[in-house]
């Protein structure tokens, strides 16, 4: 007689088989069974919301690993909580080229983290980056930041740590937090109070009233200027037309003046030539007159000498004769001077004696 079937055992067997199939699909489907990976640890400041297990680790857009674990570490001494992220890097994703045999052996002896340490020395840093704006998912991005110092936390001594840097948003948040917000707000309130007092001050009202008066005066001035501009422009136009006429008349007169001037110059030259002949005859006549005057003077002197013998020195006749004699002498000297001057300046007969003619 056969034993009855144990339904419980059959159910457990089916559930175990299904679990084995799921695990096999997960392991074999991901391909991790046949891939070698290297684990690293990273510590990020602030929140890691949006970063999950399985989030990619990329270097300049190329996926080189994935997040395997996100844990919280509590430091009992400092009472500090730290977010620690573990990630596995696929070793086959980074191909090493131009590697000599000796260097390869040295690297193998130094350990699996030697290449990563060299990259960190060149400035390799990890940073959280938005993977999708729609879902808000994050990823870890690796790149070189030589100006950022490498800060190690030493939270896990058994695994190589990759230094991290804050995101631009986190840096901005730090700067905002470091600002003295209360002091800024107090200064802003003080400034607003000062502005309010200035607006309510009677000086401002008086200044506005004076400004309105000044604007009205300016408007009146502009209207007056507008009323004066038209007649002024009309007068200016008339003046310009008269000036143009004057210039045209002057042009017509200049040629005739030039012709008359040339004729006057010719006549002057003729007159000077005639004057040269006339001067000589006048000079001869003046010399004859001078000679006659001199003879008359000598006769007068002889007559006076004769009269002196018969007349007293203090008589009226003697006084008048002496005066007459002096006048005759002056006239003779004037005639002599005139003759000399005409001999040196014959042109004085035409134009008269100049300012420097007596020199």
Residue 30's CB: how many other CB atoms inside 10 A?
A: 11
Domain borders along the chain are 34-166, 206-351
> pLDDT tens for residues 219-231?
888 787 777 766 7
Q: Mind listing the pLDDT tens digit for each residue in 303-346?
A: 666 655 555 555 565 666 677 777 767 777 777 787 777 777 76
* 3-state DSSP percent of the chain in helix, strand and coil, to 5: 60, 15, 25
Q: How far apart are CA 246 and CA 241, in angstroms?
A: 9
Number of Cβ within a 10 Å radius of residue 40: 22
Q: How would you label 94-121 residue by residue, b for 16+ Cβ within 10 Å and e otherwise?
A: eeeeeeeeeeeeeeeeeeeeeebeeebe
E-assigned strands of the chain? 37-43, 56-59, 62-75, 80-90, 124-130, 138-144
- Given a contact cutoff of 8 angstroms between Cβ atoms, the answer to whether 290 and 343 are in contact is no
Burial (CB count within 10 angstroms: exposed 0-12, middle 13-18, buried 19+), residue 67 = buried
Write the pLDDT tens digit of every residue in 271-300: 556 555 555 665 666 577 667 767 766 776
Helix or strand (DSSP H, E) at 163? none
- Count Cβ atoms below 10 Å from residue 226 Cβ, excluding itself: 9
pTM: 0.44
């Amino acid at each position: 007689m056969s034993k009855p079937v144990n339904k419980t055992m059959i159910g457990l067997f089916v559930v175990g088989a299904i679990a084995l199939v799921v695990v096999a699909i997960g392991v074999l489907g991901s391909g991790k069974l046949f891939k070698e990976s290297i684990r690293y640890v990273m510590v990020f400041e602030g929140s890691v919301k949006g970063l999950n297990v399985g989030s990619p680790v990329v270097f300049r857009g190329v996926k080189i690993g994935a997040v395997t674990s996100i844990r919280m570490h509590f430091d009992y001494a400092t009472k500090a909580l730290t977010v620690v992220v573990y990630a596995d890097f696929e070793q086959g994703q980074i191909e090493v080229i131009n590697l000599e045999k000796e260097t390869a052996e040295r690297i193998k002896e130094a350990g699996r983290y030697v290449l990563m340490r060299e990259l960190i020395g060149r400035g390799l840093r990890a940073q959280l980056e938005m993977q999708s704006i729609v879902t808000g998912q994050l990823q870890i991005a690796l790149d070189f930041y030589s100006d950022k110092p490498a800060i190690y936390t030493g939270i896990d001594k058994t695994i190589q740590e990759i230094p991290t840097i804050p995101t631009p948003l986190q840096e901005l948040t730090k700067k905002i937090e470091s600002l003295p917000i209360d002091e800024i707000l107090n200064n802003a309130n003080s400034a607003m109070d000062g502005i309010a007092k200035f607006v309510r001050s009677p000086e401002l009202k008086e200044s506005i009233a004076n400004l309105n008066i000044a604007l009205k005066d300016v408007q009146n001035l502009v209207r007056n200027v507008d009323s004066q501009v038209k007649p002024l422009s009309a007068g200016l136009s008339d003046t310009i037309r008269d000036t143009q006429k004057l210039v045209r008349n002057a042009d017509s007169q200049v040629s005739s003046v030039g012709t008359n001037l040339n004729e006057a110059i010719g006549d002057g030259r003729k007159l000077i030539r005639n004057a040269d002949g006339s001067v000589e005859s006048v000079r001869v006549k003046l010399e004859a007159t001078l000679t006659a005057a001199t003879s008359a003077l000598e006769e007068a002197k002889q007559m006076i000498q004769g009269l002196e013998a018969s007349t007293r020195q203090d008589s009226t006749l003697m006084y008048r004769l002496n005066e007459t004699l002096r006048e005759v002498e002056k006239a003779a000297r004037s005639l002599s001077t005139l003759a000399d001057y005409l001999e040196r300046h014959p042109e004085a007969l035409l134009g008269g004696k100049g300012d420097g003619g007596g020199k």
